[in-house]
Amino acid sequence: MLARTMAMFTALTVLLMLLGFVIGWVIGVNPLALMLVGLIFAAILNFVSYEFSDRFVLWSTHTKLITEHDNPMLYGIVKRVAEQANIPMPRVGIVESAQPNAFATGKGPNKAVVVVTTAILKLLTPAELEAVIGHEISHVVHRDVLVASVAATIAGTISFLGQMILWNSMFGGFGGVPSRGRNQNDSAFILLIIAAILIPIAAMLVQLGISRGRESSADEAGARLTRKPQELINALRKISSKASVNQWNRQNAPSPSTASLWIVNPLKGSSWTELFSTHPSLEHRIKRIEKVAQDLGIWVA
């Protein structure tokens, strides 16, 4: 999985550099210099995104941080799983919502937050909830928030550059810039437009591939950590059958940018989010967990 993730990050970087090269070549700026500027810009955005991502996520999801006194059962489960994973006790949060769901955020094991909705506390058994927390703690252990933040930032940078090119082309911003012949200018302009459309789409598909890969890894690692593959399968089935975008109201609906963090896509039922899925299919996830169960010698139904 690490090799696959690194390959996808390499693909994102290449796409960013390729778009910078095309822009530089068309507008007459040193392409290599523009590629370098793009990489530096992406690095700065990565740092800012990673440094403040947890605060943004907690704010945008309307998470209320709790103490052990507020919910001893939930707090106790998180503490037990964190000890099994050999990481410091994460902060615990609850989101008031009719949709059963959960997510983890934070810059790493020392600054993690595990969050669940009020609905999931009512829907799952304690053992199933522990399996879900195992999934989220696995995200923390493997620093998936960092991975997701970097991937989203690079893909976002590519998308921003693509939109900038399209807007400038609509208003003639690149008209006549290249000092070539008429036919060469037209060809370069067409190439730029094609690159501005296709490269951001490719970047988004790579980003979604990274997101789906990290979810599968967290399923497997969580099942191994808690030794509760059957309970995790049960939980995913229950959550998937109940989760719907209609369960959020306007006041507490999560931002689409946080969709990949939740154990199940919180915006299921939205045509846009269903078109480009941030999570593997339920069937795929169950098959991966069943393989873990076989390795552990645990029978699952």
The total of structural domains in the chain comes to 2
- Looking at this protein, which amino acid is placed at residue 36? L
Distances (CA, A) of 74 to 67, 92, 155, 293: 10, 8, 35, 25
Does 155 lie in the same domain as 275?
no
Residue 254 domain-assigned? yes
Tally of CB atoms within 10 A around 11? 18
Tally of CB atoms within 10 A around 201? 14
Specify the higher pLDDT residue, 111 or 220: 220
pLDDT cut 70: percent of the chain above it: 68
Last residue of a domain, one of 174, 205, 236: 205
> According to the model, what pLDDT value does residue 107 have?
77
Last residue of a domain, one of 205, 234, 254: 205
SS (H, E, C) the chain: CHHHHHHHHHHHHHHHHHHHHHHHHHHCCCHHHHHHHHHHHHHHHHHHHHHHHHHHHHHHCCCEEECCCCCHHHHHHHHHHHHHCCCCCCEEEEECCCCCCEEEEECCHHHEEEEEEHHHHHHCCHHHHHHHHHHHHHHHHCCHHHHHHHHHHHHHHHHHHHHHHHHHHHCCCCCCCCCCCHHHHHHHHHHHHHHHHHHHHHHHHHHHHHHHHHHHHHHHHHHHHHCCHHHHHHHHHHHHHHCCHHHCCCCCCCCHHHHHHECCCCCCCCHHHHHCCCCCCHHHHHHHHHHHHHHHCCCCC
Active-site choice (128, 130, 136, 231):
136
Residue 271 domain-assigned? yes
Host domain of residue 251: 55-144+211-296
- For the stretch 161-183, pLDDT in tens is 676 666 666 655 554 444 444 44
> According to the model, what pLDDT value does residue 185 have?
56
Residue 187 domain-assigned? yes
- Looking at this protein, which amino acid is placed at residue 202? A
Does 219 lie in the same domain as 133?
yes
Does 270 lie in the same domain as 239?
yes
Last residue of a domain, one of 182, 205, 228: 205
The question of whether 136 is a catalytic residue gets the answer yes
| Residue 233 contacts residue 300 (beta carbons within 8 Å) | yes
Does 128 lie in the same domain as 88?
yes
| Residue 288 contacts residue 216 (beta carbons within 8 Å) | yes
Q: Is the pLDDT of residue 95 over 70?
A: yes
On average, the pLDDT of the chain sits at 79
Does 154 lie in the same domain as 129?
no
Does 243 lie in the same domain as 170?
no
Query: Which CATH number do you get for residue 286?
Result: 3.30.2010.10
Does 119 lie in the same domain as 66?
yes
Residue 250 domain-assigned? yes
Residue 301 domain-assigned? no
Does 221 lie in the same domain as 104?
yes
Residue 43 domain-assigned? yes
Does 8 lie in the same domain as 109?
no
Residue 288 domain-assigned? yes
Among 128-142, 225-239, 240-254, 282-296, the least confident range:
240-254
Does 252 lie in the same domain as 125?
yes
- For the stretch 190-248, pLDDT in tens is 766 777 777 777 777 776 777 788 899 999 999 999 999 999 999 999 999 887 666 66
Does 132 lie in the same domain as 222?
yes
Does 116 lie in the same domain as 96?
yes
What is the spatial distance between Cα 178 and Cα 103, in angstroms, rounded to a whole number? 49
Residue 100 domain-assigned? yes
